Structure 1
Amino acid sequence: MYAILDIETTGGQFNEEGITEIAIYKFDGHEVTDRFISLVNPEKPIQPFVVKLTGISNAMLRSAPKFHEVAKRIIEITDGCILVAHNAQFDYRVLRTEFKNLGYNFEKQTLCTVELSQKLLPEQPSHSLGKLVRSLGIPMSDRHRATGDAMATVQLFKLLLEKDTEKEIVKSLIKTENRQGLAPRLLDLLESIPAVTGLYYIYKQNGDLIYIGMSRNIKKRVNQHFTGTSRKSKKIQKQAFTVTYEETGSELIAMLKECHEIKKNRPLLNRTLKKNTYPLSLYPVKDTNGYIALKLEKTDGRKKEIISFTGTAEAKSAQYKITESYTLCQKINDMDPSSKKSCFPYTLGNCNGACLQKEPVEAYNNRVQNFINANSFYKQSMVLVDRGRNVNERSAVLIENGVFLGYAFFSLNHQVTHLDILKSIMVPIASNKDSKKIISDYIRKNKALKILRF
């Protein structure tokens, strides 16, 4: 059973908010079986911006029941249920605080529909309740009132349950209270961080930067630091005083900026990014018959490589996979040491005979070029178009003649199709082998990535 709820509060300082309205729908996975909806007298004034947002005024609450008068009903309707809410961490914290003030320890398992929708509906540009239900065609009334938001969450949760056919994702996201010892200052820091893709920066009280990270959900990642038991997590929990963040929308931009920022700032608790060495690289070399060979050679800074590798095993494994995946020739790629004219895969039907000049050069080289285009940006000029920070924005990563130049955010198509405009709004980042590897790996893993070539 689930207890799907929404709470409106007075606003104000962390853990000092009072509940002004609560709506709880008991849901068995198919239909609502019970409900409780009530205004609540918080016995403190409502912040003006909250009055404007919700329409709930101080005058409306004078005759409403106080929390201790509705507490028993809340316990009854949530008994044996998992609490479900959109941003469940907030609603659960406020509810627990109210019960704590009454001397009662209110503990429940929780499930957040923000996290659940991010897992099951990753294509959605926004996971805020209003925008998400609107894009899914879920009717919504009384926005920013507990009953309207809770009922919209019921309909959203029902849809998410149907999409998670094996219920594996739902089970994995159910949380049991495990933060009782978490310091209030850490909870306060966590409250200010959104569940978005981007970077986060953790500082000591004296202003020293101690850690930089990136995540597709920075709130969840910082929470892992604050609740983790590793040596690094415990140091972060002890020293963290301020957390700032930068939303990127694009995971690729977040990874590129993380690499750049760590090398630039060298935070105390980040494992120092040593200057990675790439002793071997894959180069395209035309043989005497005109076939393009993909050869592993010592990295030469004067030449443009397709892919670089940190070790021999990684390099050879990748070369074999590439050769097999694109039906290329081991003999041409200098991988077959035998003295025979044909390569061994040819005898098994896994080579089209380029080693014997039986396959047309053009057909063979087209497959090599397909590999290069799909897996790297060797000597290419292109823009990688990805998610932006909101529904009206996209991101762009610019590569010119195989060199990564930087990134930009744009909202109009002509900003990305005209290179002079794109360069004028671009944030430059120095290109290096680490950034090239990050981009190459991202291109390989994200086959649906929009690429504009020029």
Structure 2
Amino acid sequence: MYTIIDIETSGNGIKGNKITEIAIFKYDGHQIVDEYTSLVNPQCPIPFYITGLTGIDGQMVQNAPLFEQIAPKILEMTADCIFVAHSVNFDYGVIKEEFRQIGIDFVRKKLCTVRLSRRLIPGLQSYSLGKLCTAVQIPLKDRHRARGDAHATVLLFQKLLNTPDSDTIVKKFLNARSQEATLPPHLPKSVFDEIPQKPGIYYFKNQQGKIIYVGKAINLKKRVLGHFYDKSTKEIRMCSETASIDFKLSGSELVALLMESAEIKRLFPPYNSAQKRIVKQYAIFEYEDRNGIIHLAFNVLKGAPNPIKVFYNQTDCRAFLENICKNFALCPKYCHLQQVNTSCSHHEISSCEGICTSTESVEDYNQKVKAAILDIKKEKSGVRIIKEKGRDLNENAFVLIDEGMYKGYGFIDQEQTITSLEDIEAHIIPQKNTLETQRIVEALLPKSESFVL
């Protein structure tokens, strides 16, 4: 037994999306045996664009029952039935959330008529309900009203069940292990099946072939599947647009992060937002005061002339400077860790040797500051190679850092020995050094196997 369902909503994302109308047709595989339609009071404003689409406004639903009042009827009609809808994950997700809000766990087996249509009626340009009904000559009345769309879906479902091999396909879709009910409506399962359980990056593409999202993963298949289980509004909208997925292997998490960052900067996909945000940077710099004393200080990057070292938050910047102050017996006052007019009295740093009380000479103190600066700059000197796992057992991946700047990554045969920069130049894929790549490299460098040429 099946229940073919359609809902109209207030259009505020899954968790804020309230049902304004619901239609349910109970179908035994041959004929309609019961039906139910009702407006629903969403207890929230209905946006003008939703009214323009559906014709449902606040006045129409003012005296309609609340969802909790019709919930028993929905539970009764859908009990022991397969939940069928066009783009089923949307209707099912909204109804499930409505039940959750009144303390009921709503669980039904699902079938999606978009996915069934793509399998049983292949080759159509569009599988939207309106265009699909036109293509297969199904009358569609009262478009964007729950009963009209639900009844058209019944006729479509009836046609699909009468298609050769429909029994086999439906049974396959209902198999809990098939993942058919979980996948986006426009994504062929064969495309998902090709995704490996390896590190890399993946591209979500819409029906026009445009890349709408780029992500990275240590396990590509597991991460991609995670998107389909995510019930946030953004994820549901993105997945509903996804019609194809491409991927590239990276061999390791570090290379995947760098590949992802480069592709986001190159493509600017609409559903990627994390690396579009502006991150405030801080830097340590030096200057000499009127008494000839060299100060170390920190400020936002734009306000730091000739920065010695850059950080991505103020806390890390200050903590690093505190360590330098301790390790080189510098004065907290002249490292701008303590704003005082008298001698320093920092609560943690007590290594000052007296520059702030004139018991240490300016020359001796400046020598210590210069040694500290030299030590900081040493981190950036030379060519450093980070070695990572390759995409298969026969290769290694590498990341090239030159004078502290990220230069790119590449893949090289495991048997080839790297002893000079020339050994890897033929294999490197040059990349831009950006704020994001710098953060990625600096975060993972201590955990990675690396060597200096």
TM-score by length of 1: 0.51
Partners of 2:219 and 2:184 in 1: CA distance: 22
Q: Aligned residue for 2:209?
A: 207
Partners of 2:308 and 2:244 in 1: CA distance: 42
Q: Secondary structure at the match of 1:299?
A: helix
Task: Give 1:201 shift.
Answer: 0.7
Task: Give 1:285 shift.
Answer: 6.1
* Residues 252 and 282 of structure 1: CA distance in aligned 2, closer, same or farther (over 3 Å): farther
Task: Give 1:246 shift.
Answer: 0.7
Task: Give 1:248 shift.
Answer: 0.7
* Residues 321 and 279 of structure 1: CA distance in aligned 2, closer, same or farther (over 3 Å): closer
User: Which letter does structure 2 place at the counterpart of 1:421?
Assistant: D
Q: Aligned residue for 1:320?
A: 318
User: Which letter does structure 2 place at the counterpart of 1:318?
Assistant: D
User: Which letter does structure 1 place at the counterpart of 2:259?
Assistant: K
* Residues 290 and 387 of structure 1: CA distance in aligned 2, closer, same or farther (over 3 Å): farther
Deviation per CA, 1:202-247: give whole Å up to 9, x if none. 1112211111111122211110112211122212321212111111
Establish whether residue 449 from structure 1 lines up as the match of residue 451 from structure 2.
no
Q: Secondary structure at the match of 1:416?
A: coil
Any residues of structure 2 matched to 1:269-308 within 5 Å, and which? Answer: 269-271=271-273, 273-274=275-276, 276=278, 278=280, 280-283=282-285, 293=296, 295-296=298-299, 298-299=301-302, 303=306, 305-308=308-311
Q: Aligned residue for 1:252?
A: 254
Asked whether the 8 Å contact 2:180–2:189 carries over to 1, the reply is no
Establish whether residue 189 from structure 1 lines up as the match of residue 187 from structure 2.
no
Task: Give 1:413 shift.
Answer: 6.8
Q: Secondary structure at the match of 1:270?
A: coil
Asked whether the 8 Å contact 2:216–2:256 carries over to 1, the reply is yes
Gaps of 5+ in 1: 1-96, 109-176
Gaps of 5+ in 2: 1-166
Deviation per CA, 1:282-339: give whole Å up to 9, x if none. 2366898897835335437984542243xxxx32x22332244453542232221112
Q: Aligned residue for 2:228?
A: 226
Any residues of structure 2 matched to 1:371-382 within 5 Å, and which? Answer: 378-382=380-384
Asked whether the 8 Å contact 1:305–1:378 carries over to 2, the reply is no
Asked whether the 8 Å contact 1:385–1:451 carries over to 2, the reply is yes
Partners of 2:223 and 2:334 in 1: CA distance: 47
Partners of 1:271 and 1:191 in 2: CA distance: 27
RMSD in angstroms over aligned alpha carbons? 4.0
* Residues 380 and 273 of structure 1: CA distance in aligned 2, closer, same or farther (over 3 Å): same
Partners of 1:201 and 1:301 in 2: CA distance: 39
Asked whether the 8 Å contact 2:284–2:307 carries over to 1, the reply is no
* Residues 450 and 182 of structure 1: CA distance in aligned 2, closer, same or farther (over 3 Å): closer
User: Which letter does structure 2 place at the counterpart of 1:212?
Assistant: V
User: Which letter does structure 2 place at the counterpart of 1:295?
Assistant: F
Partners of 2:375 and 2:427 in 1: CA distance: 31
User: Which letter does structure 2 place at the counterpart of 1:395?
Assistant: A
Q: Aligned residue for 1:237?
A: 239
Partners of 2:365 and 2:274 in 1: CA distance: 49
Deviation per CA, 1:361-407: give whole Å up to 9, x if none. 8888777766666xxx5354322222222333222211222322111
User: Which letter does structure 2 place at the counterpart of 1:449?
Assistant: S
Asked whether the 8 Å contact 2:284–2:296 carries over to 1, the reply is no
Any residues of structure 2 matched to 1:4-403 within 5 Å, and which? Answer: 180-182=181-183, 185=187, 187-271=189-273, 273-274=275-276, 276=278, 278=280, 280-283=282-285, 293=296, 295-296=298-299, 298-299=301-302, 303=306, 305-309=308-312, 314-315=313-314, 317-325=315-323, 327-328=326-327, 329=330, 330-345=332-347, 350-354=349-353, 356=355, 357=360, 378-403=380-405
Partners of 1:440 and 1:390 in 2: CA distance: 26
User: Which letter does structure 1 place at the counterpart of 2:317?
Assistant: Q
Q: Which one has the largest radius of gyration?
A: 2
Asked whether the 8 Å contact 1:278–1:299 carries over to 2, the reply is no
Partners of 1:413 and 1:182 in 2: CA distance: 41
Task: Give 1:351 shift.
Answer: 3.3
Partners of 2:218 and 2:172 in 1: CA distance: 38
Partners of 2:344 and 2:304 in 1: CA distance: 33
Task: Give 1:354 shift.
Answer: 4.7
Task: Give 1:107 shift.
Answer: 6.3
User: Which letter does structure 2 place at the counterpart of 1:296?
Assistant: N
User: Which letter does structure 2 place at the counterpart of 1:384?
Assistant: I
User: Which letter does structure 1 place at the counterpart of 2:296?
Assistant: A
Partners of 2:217 and 2:343 in 1: CA distance: 51
Task: Give 1:102 shift.
Answer: 10
Task: Give 1:428 shift.
Answer: 0.5
* Residues 283 and 343 of structure 1: CA distance in aligned 2, closer, same or farther (over 3 Å): same
Asked whether the 8 Å contact 1:186–1:237 carries over to 2, the reply is no
* Residues 254 and 372 of structure 1: CA distance in aligned 2, closer, same or farther (over 3 Å): farther
Partners of 2:333 and 2:199 in 1: CA distance: 45
Partners of 2:398 and 2:212 in 1: CA distance: 29
Deviation per CA, 1:186-213: give whole Å up to 9, x if none. 5433221112111101111221111111
User: Which letter does structure 2 place at the counterpart of 1:258?
Assistant: E
Q: Secondary structure at the match of 1:438?
A: helix
Q: Secondary structure at the match of 1:435?
A: helix
Asked whether the 8 Å contact 2:282–2:298 carries over to 1, the reply is no
Asked whether the 8 Å contact 2:204–2:242 carries over to 1, the reply is yes
Partners of 1:187 and 1:398 in 2: CA distance: 38
Asked whether the 8 Å contact 1:203–1:242 carries over to 2, the reply is yes
